[in-house]
A and B are shown apart, each in its own frame.
Chain A
Amino acid sequence: MVRKTIALALMSGLAFILAFILGDWSPMERLSGVAYDYVTRGAADLGAMNLVTAIVVTYRGLDTLGEVTVLFLAASGVAVLLRRKRDEAAATVKIKRAASEIVTTGASLLSPFIVMFGAYIFLNGHLSPGGGFQGGAVIASAVLLLFLAHPDYKLRHNVLNIIESFSGFTYVLVGLLGLFLAGGFLDNRFLPLGTYGTILSAGAIPLIYTLIGLKVGTELAGILENMKGRA
């Protein structure tokens, strides 16, 4: 009871603070500051139709590299924390109930399409809504579906590891190419910008988003597998 009262008091304090801060908030009327620059020159600079992608992959590319790092860190952290210690190896193996027919059939039917859809999303990140993270998450959802359908399903670790490492390392290398061949680290313009609006345009953006998509997909899949526990 005391706890609830304190919680209530705290919440009313916070509500007051939020009301105070946001009380006279109103949306912006027109673009200003750095956003104005992005919108006016983004397409010409980088050749990407999707300005959000231009910002995410190039202008603020370091953030995105950091974001990939965060995900990678989390995946590594999950793996470290859920690693099996020697004394736990002998723990009894729980037998999991098999999934129903509908789920298994649906999973095998859908997962190739899901993966394909994911690849579509990250390949078109510079043209339409979407990108590497979204695509990667979609791919990982295919893996999740497989896990649901086949609780004993084992991912091939080596392959996953190599894809993950390769895509991450190549991402860094692509960034370096930007530094050496173009204006700076993660500059996408060391590849030709191509024809505006086509799939092979916007310099290295599709390449980077592909790498990110692969990396995110494999990392999320790794997290899922670790959390699933080993049968």
Chain B
Amino acid sequence: MKLVMVLGAALMLIGFWGLITRRNMIKMILSLAIAETGLQLIMIAVGYINGGTAPILDSAVDKLSAVQQVVDPVPQALVLTAIVIGVAVNALMLTFIIRLYQKKHSLNISDYKDMKW
């Protein structure tokens, strides 16, 4: 699981790197999405318990000894929410880009510097 953690952190860093180096706004949003994915991996890793199985108490998992068998269900519930929220924000951001593109016909973030100082 340490590996998933490292992977998550690496994805976050890659996402941040993309965010501050790509000029294309769509790529910036993709970078943010990558960073979010990294975070989601980290969240899942946090909830993992060595040797645990999915927190579904069906025939495979005995209800009484479930505590010893399953992984933590809470981070999974949280990740679900995080993913949905991420989707929502990304959709809205893309909409902003559609509108911005209609105004200036550019996807380059440095073309939108009308307001400063």
Direct touching of A and B (C-beta under 8 Å): yes
> Does A190 belong to the interface (CB within 8 Å)?
no
> Does A40 belong to the interface (CB within 8 Å)?
yes
CB-CB under 8 A from B17, the residues of chain A are: 7, 11
> Does A60 belong to the interface (CB within 8 Å)?
yes
CB-CB under 8 A from B96, the residues of chain A are: 81
A70 engages B70 (CB within 8 Å): no
B92 engages A78 (CB within 8 Å): yes
Q: How far apart are the CA atoms of A36 and B52 in the complex, in Å? A: 13
Chain A, Cβ-Cβ closest to B102: A88
A55 engages B88 (CB within 8 Å): no
A81 engages B95 (CB within 8 Å): yes
Band of interface residues on A: 35 or more
B66 engages A39 (CB within 8 Å): yes
> Does A172 belong to the interface (CB within 8 Å)?
no
Q: How far apart are the CA atoms of A187 and B52 in the complex, in Å? A: 29
A27 engages B13 (CB within 8 Å): no
Chain B, Cβ-Cβ closest to A34: B74
Q: List 22 A-B contacts (CB under 8 A).
A: A3-B21, A10-B20, A11-B16, A29-B49, A31-B67, A31-B70, A38-B73, A40-B66, A42-B73, A43-B57, A51-B73, A52-B55, A52-B77, A52-B80, A55-B77, A71-B88, A73-B88, A74-B91, A81-B96, A81-B99, A131-B80, A227-B94
Question: Which residues of A are interface residues toward B (Cβ below 8 A)?
Answer: 3-4, 7, 10-11, 14-15, 18-19, 22, 25-31, 34-36, 38-40, 42-43, 49-52, 54-56, 60, 63-64, 66-67, 70-71, 73-75, 77-78, 81-82, 127-129, 131, 133, 197, 223, 226-227
Apart from the given pairs A35-B72, A70-B84, A75-B91, 17 other A-B contacts in the complex at a CB distance below 8 Å: A18-B9, A18-B12, A25-B5, A27-B50, A28-B72, A34-B74, A35-B73, A35-B74, A39-B67, A40-B66, A51-B57, A51-B70, A56-B77, A64-B81, A70-B85, A74-B87, A74-B88
